[in-house]
Amino acid sequence: MAEKATISVKAPGKMRIQYYRSANSTPFKHRRVVKGLGFTRLNQIVEREDTVSIRGMVKAIPHLVRILD
């Protein structure tokens, strides 16, 4: 079967974040940040407001998440 091509359009003032590495064997604070960003499973992509607080959360766990777009 052919896969459908998806076109993602980034909304202004938003950022897309992907959770791509497991938080196992990381400090408890890192796991809380992952949960605070709204991630529930690996390879999940969420769209959050591009604010200073969200940027700070991403900066705390750059080894677990990546910013898309």
C-alpha–C-alpha distance, residues 14 and 47, integer Å: 6
pLDDT at 56 over 70: yes
pLDDT band at 6 (very low <50, low <70, confident <90, very high): low
How far from 27 is each of 23, 32, 67, CA to CA, in Å?
Answer: 8, 9, 21
Structure confidence by residue, pLDDT tens digits, 11-54: 789 999 999 999 999 999 999 999 999 999 999 999 999 999 99
In eight-state DSSP terms, residue 31 is H
